[in-house]
Structure 1
Amino acid sequence: MSAIPTRETGLGPGELLQLLRDGQPRTRAELARITGMARSTVSLRVDALLASGLLAPSGEAASTGGRPPARFAFNPQARVVVGADIGATHANVALTDLRGRVLSEAAERLDVTDGPVPVLDRVIATIGRLLGAAGRGVRDLAGIGIGLPGPVEHSSGRPRRPPIMPGWDGFDVPGHVRRHWDVPVLVDNDVNIMALGEHVTAHADLDHVLFVKVATGIGAGIISGRQLLRGAVGAAGDLGHVAAPNAAGVRCACGNTGCLEAVASGRAIIRQLSAAGVPVATNSDVVALVNGGNIEAAHAVRQAGRTIGEVLAMCVSMLNPELVVIGGSLAGAGESLIAGVREVVYGRSLPLATGHLQIVPATTGFQAGVIGAATMVVQDVLAAERVERGLLSSG
């Protein structure tokens, strides 16, 4: 490839690719009509994208005389992406295409307190197995996305004082992974990637979505204008450590007192039920008791929902989302949790903000994290400027 056309002569090839990512096959003539560029300029861009594999032939258009013109479409199979969702006691790893569609996946039991090197090496080995089983190598790997169960400085991919991750503070997660797989590695906290996964899978038509994870901890992911909001240093959505009503003096795992997480998380519910003599040890136990009709468990979960609703009511008034999605392991308790949230949010938030607001359980389940982590990578590597840099470097 001798030359890659630039924006000086219209849309660059990376921008042209954005038009084609909807999957609709188009001819060169159709692209010239849509973009207003000369047919020869469009052909240069199409040829560059075909050579990269990001476009592929997709049949022929109807002929108006002579040879039928060829159609081209985005090729999501051109590369694969890894999405990894690391939790306190597990890691889910998936191989996806460039649309974020899961091709294969694996789950590993692990303990995040073992430290970054042992945990990440387990994930790295799992990536190798998935790639090998799919017949793909590092040249096919577009990038790796990782979600971690704690605060992450997204710009560097380093955890920052994560409460349940001893030894991880400041660790160079991308650097360690790139020593094994020399590809882009992006890292974010687990709630952000779950928000991305739920949005692109189930609510891609909505612009403003607030995703709330209720599990061992509590956190939120904010989608605004169809973009994930991370804030100045990646701390946006740290809902679990907002001061909760009637929680003064209750100590939180973060070292502070009065946090929402200290009184309404899975850990807090387990503590309350255990003190009342209800045999429960895990979030799964809580969900099973609620779904089995246990009155004490149902009451505790509903009260947790109300407390979460007190904080969410402020968020709804400030952010004005179209949808609030409740996910995480305790979302399996169904209406007991959701009803408590709705009761307070609809009663406390401004009518203008709640007039069309829906509060619903998550639908993507355990795949939300891996799909979101992969989506994070896809959004980065298929950005127009990144595509054009890749074409230039290979030209």
Structure 2
Amino acid sequence: MTGALRGRRPTAAPATAGEVFALIRQGAVATRTEIGRATGLSRTAVAARVDRLLAEGLVSEVQGGAVTGGRPAARLAFHAGGGTVLAASVGVSRTSLAVCDLTGAVLAQDSLRIRARSGPEPVMRAVADRLGGLLAEAGADRAGVRGIGLSIPGTVDSTAGCSIGVPVLPGWAEVKLPPLLHEHFAVPVRVDNDVNVMAIAEQHAHPGIDDLLVLKVSTGIGAAVVSGGVLQRGARGSAGEIGHTQVANGPGMPCHCGNVDCIEILASGSALIRDLVVRGRAVDTVSDVVDLVRAGDAEAVTLVREAGRRIGEVLAAAVNLLNPAVITVGGDLVGAYEPLVAGIRESVFKRAVATATQSLRVEPGALVGRSGVTGCAILVLDRVLSPGAVDEILAARDVVL
């Protein structure tokens, strides 16, 4: 953005208010004079654009240090408190919710124990109701909400904002989710896969790391790929769907996707719950499994480590193919991190080529417990604070005035 504006030809259209905002948000400029130099706009044009951004609350202005030989220059900065975005990371059995400022920082957070099998309408209604309550708890005005970021498990058509027939989400296929939230909040809604939004958050938390593999182990298993600094969604949005990769030498267990011996049916949180119940343990959720591991239950520890080994078998192929610098592990089962990752490392470092694992780091996600909602917030912020979106907001304000 900055380079494009600085290299602007004299015949190019003048920089818009949205483009000026992008420069301020990036920290590329901090004064009106710097804006003029970067864009070629006149002082009058700069003032007009800055005044509109100030009135919209997207930019703040304070007196800065003295300019050499002159009076103190007013400094401009991105105003993180100029509104909020809402984040909802829907899981199979639990949904994380948050109100965030315009940097993606969480202002208020909660979770709902609601099963996705209830269907999209009741889930979205419960999500909207609780988000309204969180806004009040954060002391934020509904009128200041600028957008909603939403994630759901499995393959997502991010353009249409719907699931593409995921077995763990019966009744969700092709149901467009933004309209269900528009009934409660008249703001833009962006929808993506749950692990993709975790990857967006982890990418922001790992500056300088351009090749990242994000693993989520919860009720199900999924992954996301950041390669060359870009989140890879694939031709139909199903990049990273490792949960339904079949493993060798399995017991022939049928998976809900129609295949047998998928990694998800053998090593996910749901699989561990099933196997522990068979062994007489009173477990109902992934959190119960984690509690057993933390209490030192030998059988639970053994099962979790074996699950890690099986997951590592699949990840080894991904490491050979993608050569990530870092694998981050998140999801509800990360609470049993030590046996889980011990198993993952054992298989990955045994099966992947040495050149791919020589400097590979396997570590817990940097935002464990918040990566989903933080990623949802960043997802929608990238849309609603883009230069084009800001210009549309300001144009709409002009029409109202």
TM-score by length of 1: 0.90
Match of 2:306 in 1: 303
Shift in Å, 1:254? 1.9
Instruction: Please provide the CA RMSD for this pair.
Output: 2.4
Q: Is the contact made by 1:113 and 1:165 (CA closer than 8 Å) also made in structure 2?
A: yes
Match of 2:274 in 1: 271
Match of 2:7 in 1: none
Match of 1:210 in 2: 213
Q: 1:85 to 1:7 in 2, by over 3 A?
A: farther
Indicate the larger mover: 24-33 or 308-317. 24-33
Answering whether residue 98 of structure 2 is matched by residue 86 of structure 1, we say no
Residue type of the alignment partner of 1:149: P
Q: 1:159 to 1:342 in 2, by over 3 A?
A: same
Answering whether residue 204 of structure 2 is matched by residue 186 of structure 1, we say no
Q: 1:172 to 1:7 in 2, by over 3 A?
A: farther
Match of 2:382 in 1: 379
Residue type of the alignment partner of 2:24: L
Q: 1:303 to 1:67 in 2, by over 3 A?
A: same
For 2:354 and 2:19, the matched residues in 1 are separated by: 41
Match of 2:117 in 1: 113
One of 141, 144, 151 as aligned partner of 2:145? 141
Match of 1:67 in 2: 71
Match of 2:128 in 1: 124
Residue type of the alignment partner of 2:310: T
Match of 2:365 in 1: 362
Query: What does 1:161-310 align with in structure 2 at a 5 Å threshold?
Result: 161-200=165-204, 202-247=205-250, 249-310=252-313
Indicate the larger mover: 154-163 or 246-255. 246-255
Q: Is the contact made by 2:154 and 2:241 (CA closer than 8 Å) also made in structure 1?
A: no
Q: Deviations over 1:164-221 (max 9, x none)?
A: 2232222121011112211101112222222223332x32342221110111110012
For 1:353 and 1:44, the matched residues in 2 are separated by: 53
Q: Is the contact made by 1:82 and 1:374 (CA closer than 8 Å) also made in structure 2?
A: yes
Residue type of the alignment partner of 2:365: A
Shift in Å, 1:138? 4.1
Q: 1:179 to 1:97 in 2, by over 3 A?
A: same
Q: Is the contact made by 1:145 and 1:374 (CA closer than 8 Å) also made in structure 2?
A: yes
Shift in Å, 1:281? 3.7
Residue type of the alignment partner of 1:335: E
Q: Secondary structure at the match of 1:223?
A: strand
Q: Secondary structure at the match of 1:8?
A: coil
Q: Is the contact made by 1:25 and 1:71 (CA closer than 8 Å) also made in structure 2?
A: no
Shift in Å, 1:387? 1.9
Residue type of the alignment partner of 1:130: L
Match of 2:16 in 1: 12
Q: 1:8 to 1:223 in 2, by over 3 A?
A: same
For 2:323 and 2:11, the matched residues in 1 are separated by: 37
Q: 1:280 to 1:129 in 2, by over 3 A?
A: closer
Q: Secondary structure at the match of 1:26?
A: coil
Structure 1 alignment gaps of length 5 or more: 1-5
Residue type of the alignment partner of 2:195: V
Q: 1:16 to 1:227 in 2, by over 3 A?
A: farther
For 1:134 and 1:289, the matched residues in 2 are separated by: 35
Q: Deviations over 1:215-274 (max 9, x none)?
A: 111001222344322222221111101122222622112222121111111222233334
For 1:227 and 1:11, the matched residues in 2 are separated by: 27
Shift in Å, 1:359? 0.5
Answer 1 or 2: higher relative contact order, Cα 8 Å, separation at least 6: 1
Shift in Å, 1:347? 2.5
Q: Is the contact made by 2:63 and 2:72 (CA closer than 8 Å) also made in structure 1?
A: no
Shift in Å, 1:369? 1.2
The alignment of Structure 1 onto Structure 2 pairs a total of residues equal to: 389
Structure 2 alignment gaps of length 5 or more: 1-9
For 1:365 and 1:319, the matched residues in 2 are separated by: 24
For 2:335 and 2:141, the matched residues in 1 are separated by: 38
For 1:375 and 1:33, the matched residues in 2 are separated by: 30
TM-score by length of 2: 0.89
For 1:355 and 1:336, the matched residues in 2 are separated by: 22
Q: 1:207 to 1:89 in 2, by over 3 A?
A: same
